[in-house]
A and B are shown apart, each in its own frame.
Chain A
Amino acid sequence: MSQHLLVLLPLLLPLYGAILCLPFWKRSLPQQWVAGCTQVCWMASAAMLIYEVTTTGIVKTQIGNWPAPYGITMVADIFSALMIGASTIVGFAVYLFSLRGLNESRKTYGYYPMLLLLQMGISGVCLTGDIFNLYVWFEVLLISCFTLLALGGTKAQLEGTIKYVTINMLASGLLLTGIGMVYSLTGSLNLAELGRLVRQPGSDLSLVNIASIFFLIGFGIKSAIFPLFFWLPASYHTPPIAISAFIAGLLTKVGIYTLIRLFTLVFIMDRNFILPLLLVLSGLTMVVGVLGAASQTDFRKILSFHIVSQIGYMLMGLAINTPLAIAGSVFFILHNILVKTNLFLISGVVAQRHKTFALKKLGGEYLKNPFLAILFLLSALSLAGIPPFSGFWGKFMLAKAGLLNENYSIVATSLAVSLITIFSMTKIWNEAFLKPKPDNNGSEKEVVTSEEKQASRYLLVPVVLLAGIILFIGLYAEPVISLSIRAAEQLKNTDLYINAVLNR
């Protein structure tokens, strides 16, 4: 298959899937079939892209055959291919969950097309090689995300959506301002061309620094970095699990992806200011996120705060900025996408039985369903970074890079935060799984119909799938680690990217 098609397939498949869903508006069954086929094809296209990128190097295509700095370029290197790969796996799992875990009216009126459009937006952000095009893909991603958050229109969802919409429109505005500044200073929008221009000796870069701060704030809001994260725990827990699991698993990581891309390729000047700033921000993000999680008593709110905390680790790799540290970040992003989605899905399975997410009212899940308890334990320990599981390798690479670079305080912070992560995971374990179920009314016995039992058994399928992948990455980490190290080498060795795009 030609390289051009390979780069574009992850964009085209979800787009055509979403369009094909639309004629079946008001009928959920055909939409499910179309969406399911699209998810499988999307996964296959991502696998082919990863194979192509790892064997032949960076692949690219120029849209409309306009040569590089003038037209829009679509590029895939190992990092972006891996991101798309992880998001296809998560998308497939969430799709499986939605078949039984989402109510009929949401499935009928737009869940599947909006999810596919959101996935198209993610592919677009990962593949684009043009800074304005990046903004456009982010808007595609955001508008589908708004719609998904508000889908169903319950009171809590509307409240969460209004916060999310406001803060994200502000972030997009800041981003656009930054793009305007970059264009007026350099006269180019192509990422590779920008990377070449800022590396030219003798170019005046002091104003590009100011533009980079716009990007830091804009993407900082989108990826929930320390002073800008307050919208996340206020909105992510409101929609149903089949929606929030996907959004929670992926969107903040896409923000981090762009930060890593831009701050390794374009905004490389004035390292003495940006890198220590990022280091401090990453430390604060970790600490504040995990302390927030420790103070919550709602299953999904704890997980939402943990997203913030984990973002700190990903930023830490960028802040240390050695190849090993960035490889650690890449690995951590991949691991976190899978684990976080899995934890959200598990909370959905638990809540489907108890009809609540409040830890106070949950309980007894370990006796009733030991298999689910083991799956939760596996994901929770992996999130905290206990050795045989996948989180350990990411944290190990980050900590090793930090020690080699003599950033002792951030390494100490990250390890302490891991401990508190275990603490808040233990809280969920004790409350939801270990303690006996509190019966408030005494007489009211839970009536579980056989249909519900069958549904909840079915809901375990995506959880088992993701848990299997997490376990696999943990026990057989070598291929993923070597891929992330190669991705980091590509990110650090920017000449490869620039020459591949500009055809030199």
Chain B
Amino acid sequence: MEALLSIVTGMLFMVSMYFILHRHLFKLILGLILFGLATNLFMFVAGGLTRGNSAILKQDQEVAIEPYADPVPQALLLTAIVIGFGLQAFAIVIIKRVYQVYKSNNLDDLANNDNIEH
């Protein structure tokens, strides 16, 4: 299972970089989302995949029954997913705004504007 998920993680990283390096705004969004997914999956795999019990203790239990999954990477993942969700939402809004203002979905059309008005 670890080997398979490692390969999937690598492919996710690869595809996301490919998308980000494109000069298309929509592919940029896809790339950023996939990159977030790849890092999350990496953390999940690196934290160790343990099948078996959860680390939740019953009332009269002192220690969890082996083998149990480490809860820390899962907690980290949940936080990271939520943060990534917020950032991606912001990125999508800003990219949509860029599309509306520049009327183009090519990053090269974003003229380098040195005369800045406020």
Kindly state the separation between the CA atoms of A152 and B98 in the bound complex, as whole angstroms.
13
A340-369 vs B, CB cutoff 8 Å, 1 = contact: the mask equals: 000000000000000011100000000000
Checking B20, B42, B83, B86 against A170 with a beta-carbon cut-off of 8 angstroms, the contacting residue is: B20
Chain A interface residue bracket vs B: 35 or more
A169 touches B94 (CB 8 A): no
Given contacts A139-B83, A142-B87, contact A166 B20 (CB under 8 A): yes
* Bound CA–CA A146/B98 (angstroms): 14
Alpha-carbon distance between A170 and B20 when the two chains are bound, in angstroms: 10
Q: Are B42 and A177 in contact, CB atoms less than 8 angstroms apart?
A: yes
Identify the stretch in A179-187, A220-228, A313-321 within 8 Å (CB) of chain B at 4 or more residues. A179-187
Does A298 have its Cβ within 8 Å of any Cβ on chain B? yes
A135, B98: Cα distance in complex, Å: 28
| Contact pick for B113, options A155, A179, A183, A184, CB 8 Å | A155
Q: A159-B113, A183-B46, A238-B116 are in contact. Are A166 and B28 (CB under 8 A)?
A: yes
Q: Does A132 belong to the interface (CB within 8 Å)?
A: yes
- Cβ-defined contact, B43 with A136, below 8 A: no
For the complex formed, measure the closest distance between the CB of B100 and the CB atoms of chain A, giving whole angstroms.
Answer: 9
In contact, B116 and A158 (Cβ under 8 angstroms): no
Residues of the B chain whose Cβ atoms lie less than 8 Å from the Cβ of A135: 80
- Decide if A183 touches B98 in the complex (CB within 8 Å): no
Taking a contact as CB atoms under 8 Å apart, the answer to whether B76 and A103 are in contact is no
What is the distance, in angstroms, from B3's C-beta to the closest C-beta of chain A? Answer: 15
Contact B20 A155 (CB under 8 A): no
The chain A residue sitting closest to B107, CB to CB, is A162
Given contacts A179-B43, A357-B116, contact A143 B90 (CB under 8 A): yes
A170–B36 Cα gap in the complex (Å)?
A: 8
Q: Which residues of A contact B39 (CB under 8 A)?
A: 173-174, 176-177, 180
A189 in complex: contacting residue of B38, B72, B107, B111, CB < 8 Å: B72
Bound-state CA distance A146–B95 (Å) is 12
A140 nearest in chain B by CB position? B83
Residues of B near A356 (CB, < 8 A) are 115
Please tell me if the beta carbons of A139 and B42 are within 8 angstroms of each other in the complex: no
If A146-B90, A189-B72, A356-B115 touch, does A169 touch B36 (CB 8 Å cutoff)? yes
Chain A: minimal CB distance from B87 (Å): 6
- Residues of chain A within 8 A (CB-CB) of B48 are 184
CB of A404 closer than 8 Å to a CB of B? no
A162 touches B76 (CB 8 A): no
* Chain B residues, Cβ within 8 Å of A238: 116
**Inter-subunit contact B42/A162 (CB<8 Å):** no
A165-B90 contact given A159-B110, A237-B116, CB 8 Å threshold: yes
Instruction: Give the docked Cα–Cα distance between A177 and B47 (Å).
Output: 11
Measured in the bound complex, the distance between the Cα atoms of B72 and A165 in whole Å is 28
Query: Which residues from A are CB-within-8-Å of B72?
Result: 183, 189
Asked whether A158 and B101 contact (CB < 8 A) given A180-B73, A357-B116, the answer is yes
Contact for A183 among B36, B73, B114, B115, CB less than 8 A: B73
Alpha-carbon distance A136/B86, docked complex (angstroms):
12
Residues of B within 8 A of A136 (CB): 79, 83
**Contact assessment for B114 and A132 in the assembled complex, using a CB-CB cutoff below 8 Å:** no
In Å, the complex CA distance between A238 and B110 comes to: 13
The verdict on B117 contacting chain A, using a C-beta distance below 8 Å, is: yes
Look across to chain B and name the residue whose beta carbon is closest to the beta carbon of A167.
B20
| Chain A hits for B51, CB < 8 A | none
Contacting residues, chain B, for A264 (C-beta < 8 A): none
B44 (CB) vs chain A CBs: closest residue: A180
Q: How far is the CA of A190 from the CA of B80 in the complex (A)?
A: 17
A202 to chain B, nearest CB (A): 22
B90 — which chain A residues lie within 8 A by C-beta? Answer: 143, 146-147, 165
B91 / chain A contacts, CB cutoff of 8 Å: 165-166, 169
Q: Which 4 A-B pairs have the closest CB atoms?
A: A180-B43, A184-B46, A173-B39, A180-B46
**13 cross-chain CB contacts under 8 A:** A103-B118, A153-B97, A154-B117, A159-B110, A165-B87, A166-B28, A170-B35, A177-B43, A180-B47, A180-B76, A183-B43, A184-B47, A301-B114
Question: Can you add 5 more A-B contacts, CB < 8 Å, to A143-B87, A173-B38, A183-B73?
Answer: A158-B94, A158-B102, A169-B91, A183-B46, A184-B48
Instruction: Give the interface of B toward A (CB within 8 A).
Output: 20, 28, 32, 35-36, 38-40, 42-43, 46-48, 72-73, 76, 79-80, 83, 86-87, 90-91, 94-95, 97-98, 101-102, 107, 110-118
Q: Taking beta carbons and an 8 Å cutoff, which residues of A are in contact with B?
A: 103, 132, 135-136, 139, 142-143, 146-147, 150, 152-156, 158-159, 161-162, 165-166, 169-170, 172-174, 176-177, 179-181, 183-184, 189, 237-238, 240, 298, 301, 356-358
